[in-house]
A and B are shown apart, each in its own frame.
Chain A
Amino acid sequence: MSSIRSISHYIFNLFLFACIATTAVAQERYLLWGDTHQHSGLSFDVYLFGTVAATPDIAYNYAKGKPVISPVTGNRWQIQSPLDFMVLADHAELMGAFHRLYSGDKAVGKTKSGKAMLELGGAQTDSELLDVYKLVVSAATGSGANDYGLSAVDLTRDMHAGDARKPTWNAVIDAAERHNQPGQFTTFIGWEWSSLPKGANLHRVVFTPQGGDIARQFLPYSQMESTDPESLWSWLENTRRESGAEFIAIPHNSNISMGRMFPTVRENGEPIDADYARRRMQWEPVSEMTQIKGDAETHPQLSPNDDFADFETFPFILTPQGLTPEPTKGDYLRSALTRGLEIEKDIKANPFQVGMIGSSDSHTGMPAVEENNFSGKGKHDSIAVRRGEPTGIGASKGWDMAASGYVGVWAEENSRQSIYKAFRRREVYATSGPRIALRMFAGFDFSADDLKDTAMATKAYSEGVPMGGQLKARKDKVPGFLIQAAKDPLGGNLDRVQVIKAWVDDSGKGQEKIFDVALSDGRMTGDQLVGNTVDITSGRYSNTIGAEELSIFWQDPEYKPVQSAYYYVRVLQIPTPRYSLLDAIALGISWRETDKPATIQERAYSSPVWISP
């Protein structure tokens, strides 16, 4: 299977680059696939929720395409097509403490916290580990006295502060170094900063392209040091100065940030200013907008004219109260990107000029988010029979989780620096899982003929900008977009290519519009739906509708050079079965009992191109 997928993408690459070798050597770029958000049992929640066998090796081997023993089910599990790179992003908070404690590490076991937890959870049954989890929460939040008299100070001293995490961090680095094979598979040393002030998810994945020699000079910055992203940026600045490490920080799950991921004010309540915008864009060039806890492109209430807006919507705030607040513009990427333009008009700097990626946030120890091969968010929803039950993640149940996503990267080679630079220039994109190949260039001298040219990419790179780039508007010319999309060879055909445009109107208010720019099956209007071949009694579909490739040269018929605007591409697949439909058939229940649609239109989202006056 993987060979079919790689051969056909190889052909796609050939098509794009056939003549480059004779003209512009420096700019050959290839499509690489990755997951920048994978957890192992070094994360406190993975371990204490009973997935004790989830090692970094299993996660890396799975991503590389090897069969592994699933840490959540004990079955053999294998990705259908290997990934090209991965970031193991375990929670920085108490990183590795429980794995080490229960593996017999005396340095942890002899502490006050360690002794209490060995007594409470020595047999490591699921229920014992859950009791330990409750003890940790009780101690950390000070929410109540506990039988062991454990406080936040105890926890921090015993399992986090000083050099308490050093052995784990060294193990993280060693695993990344061991699995990094330039040209074959790239690993990044990274972690997750898990800020959650008052239940607002402000999490960031952080990774560095540098190796272990540099990464050993610091320890992962965590929300126990500060929950304010600006403090994280300060730490990144200082650490870069002291160690030479470069970093990318990736916000994710803005959809459950209660408006605080892309706010109009700073965490301290002051309005966002140019310095905030500059610092944020220095560290956070991309945002993870699709993952297992939902898709954060937009929400039907924010984009009422978008017929495809209601996709894997996940509103469940990470608090025990089970809140599902109304969506706000600070929660979703499209409105955030637009808000960035609005703010830029005022302060002459855009704080939210971000590219878009997908990644898994899997807590199963494997980045397994292919729809028919989904292993769940964690152990609690790893098998179909448990997916109707609450997950413990807000008010969600198993079937609320999305089998999503991965990141596509256009890079010169499969190496740390090359992929890092692609993130920096935002030449990256998001998919909800399928490996849809997607390219997009914007420029003033393109034409439809360029699409037929085997050297198109060469011209496009030299005369325009790829996704993630920025153009200065010209009064004499209308910009044109070269867009190429190819289906996942193992997945559904393509329904349509859309361009999503947003701009700031004369009153300074953001507007958005969706253009159907390429449609399958000879349709003349996007109002005509592509159809649906899914048999809901068997969970199978056929590619008798849709297109294998859609390519288009497009110009905005409403282009106004005085407007500040962004454009990004959304590619929709034909409807295919959601994993919950497969579960329902297997369980012998109606798919309606999953409270989720039987079929979904999976998708890819390019990073935007910004055109400014």
Chain B
Amino acid sequence: MSSIRSISHYIFNLFLFACIATTAVAQERYLLWGDTHQHSGLSFDVYLFGTVAATPDIAYNYAKGKPVISPVTGNRWQIQSPLDFMVLADHAELMGAFHRLYSGDKAVGKTKSGKAMLELGGAQTDSELLDVYKLVVSAATGSGANDYGLSAVDLTRDMHAGDARKPTWNAVIDAAERHNQPGQFTTFIGWEWSSLPKGANLHRVVFTPQGGDIARQFLPYSQMESTDPQKFVENHFLSVYKKSP
């Protein structure tokens, strides 16, 4: 199937570009396919809704055309024609905290939030993880007192602020670098800024064409820093841009 698809696109390309070589050499362009908005279990919602096996590797392998074990059904799954590039765009908010917590990462597990969530969801059943999700929502929105006395301040301090997300961000960068094969398959380092003021979806996927050496100089800007797109640009991009060579 994939061969039929690629041959017919190849012919299409030939048709479009047949005469270019004799006119403007610099303008040869080819059709590439991608997905700039893919989540793994590093996103809080993917993980807490029970898709704990969704690794960045599975996402990249699937996009590259390899068969994978579906993290949601357990069946083997395979894209019919491979993609050419992908952005893994996990939610910046609490990025990777739950994956790390339940993989035994003590840096998360020893915090107030971590301890509470290990107690509440240690067996990682779907229903336990949903309880953890409810606890996170309760703490983050301050919508009600919870059994663990967790506040938004606790959550932010334990799972987000400072360098709390650094190990995950490094893993995101490492996965992107590992799967980037110029000429074959391109990965971008990226994330999702998940702004949702009063329920209004202002989400943005952000990606950078730079590599890990530059991406390691910052951490993904999130809606916990601001839900205002203007601030998002000013506070984050411009400063990073100015710092970048």
Using a CB–CB cutoff of 8 Å, the interface residues on chain A facing chain B are 1, 4, 73-75, 372, 383-385, 490, 537-540, 542-543, 582-583, 585-587
**A539 pairs with B66, CB closer than 8 A:** yes
Contact of A538 among B64, B69, B74, B77 (CB under 8 A): B64
Which residues of B lie under 8 Å from residue A587 when comparing CB positions? Answer: 69
Which residues of A lie under 8 Å from residue B2 when comparing CB positions? Answer: 540
Which residues of B lie under 8 Å from residue A490 when comparing CB positions? Answer: 1
CB-CB nearest in chain A for B81: A540
**A372 pairs with B75, CB closer than 8 A:** no
Q: How far is the CB of B175 from chain A (nearest CB, A)?
A: 15
**A383 pairs with B74, CB closer than 8 A:** yes
Of residues 45 through 75 on chain B, the ones whose CB sits less than 8 Å from some CB of chain A are 64-69, 73-75
**B76 pairs with A383, CB closer than 8 A:** yes
How long is the Cα–Cα vector from A216 to B3 in the complex, in angstroms? 50
**B76 pairs with A73, CB closer than 8 A:** no
- Proximity bits, B1-31, A CB within 8 Å = 1, else 0: 1111000000000000000000000000000
Given contacts A73-B75, A75-B73, contact A586 B65 (CB under 8 A): no
How long is the Cα–Cα vector from A539 to B76 in the complex, in angstroms? 12
How long is the Cα–Cα vector from A490 to B4 in the complex, in angstroms? 9
Instruction: Tell me if B78 is interfacial: C-beta within 8 Å of chain A.
Output: yes
**B66 pairs with A73, CB closer than 8 A:** no
How long is the Cα–Cα vector from A134 to B156 in the complex, in angstroms? 56
How long is the Cα–Cα vector from A576 to B2 in the complex, in angstroms? 14
**A383 pairs with B78, CB closer than 8 A:** no
Using a CB–CB cutoff of 8 Å, the interface residues on chain B facing chain A are 1-4, 64-69, 73-78, 82
**A585 pairs with B67, CB closer than 8 A:** yes
**B73 pairs with A586, CB closer than 8 A:** no
Given contacts A1-B1, A542-B3, A543-B3, contact A583 B75 (CB under 8 A): no
Q: How far is the CB of B173 from chain A (nearest CB, A)?
A: 22
**B1 pairs with A586, CB closer than 8 A:** no
CB-CB nearest in chain A for B68: A586
**A385 pairs with B78, CB closer than 8 A:** no
How long is the Cα–Cα vector from A73 to B69 in the complex, in angstroms? 13
How long is the Cα–Cα vector from A586 to B67 in the complex, in angstroms? 5
A-B contact pairs, 21 of them (CB 8 A): A73-B75, A74-B73, A75-B73, A75-B75, A384-B69, A490-B1, A538-B64, A538-B65, A539-B78, A540-B65, A542-B3, A543-B3, A582-B67, A582-B76, A583-B67, A585-B66, A585-B67, A586-B66, A586-B67, A586-B68, A586-B69
**A73 pairs with B1, CB closer than 8 A:** no
How long is the Cα–Cα vector from A385 to B76 in the complex, in angstroms? 9
How long is the Cα–Cα vector from A372 to B64 in the complex, in angstroms? 17
Give 7 new A-B contacts, CB below 8 A, not counting A73-B75, A384-B76: A383-B74, A383-B75, A383-B76, A384-B69, A538-B66, A539-B78, A542-B3
Q: How far is the CB of B65 from chain A (nearest CB, A)?
A: 6
Which residues of B lie under 8 Å from residue A537 when comparing CB positions? Answer: 66
Which residues of B lie under 8 Å from residue A4 when comparing CB positions? Answer: 4
How long is the Cα–Cα vector from A372 to B75 in the complex, in angstroms? 12
**B67 pairs with A73, CB closer than 8 A:** no
Which residue, of B1, B4, B64, B75, has the highest number of chain A Cβ atoms within 10 A?
A: B75
How long is the Cα–Cα vector from A119 to B66 in the complex, in angstroms? 47
Q: How far is the CB of A61 from chain B (nearest CB, A)?
A: 20
Which residue, of A1, A73, A585, has the highest number of chain B Cβ atoms within 10 A?
A: A585
**B4 pairs with A586, CB closer than 8 A:** no
Which residues of A lie under 8 Å from residue B3 when comparing CB positions? Answer: 542-543
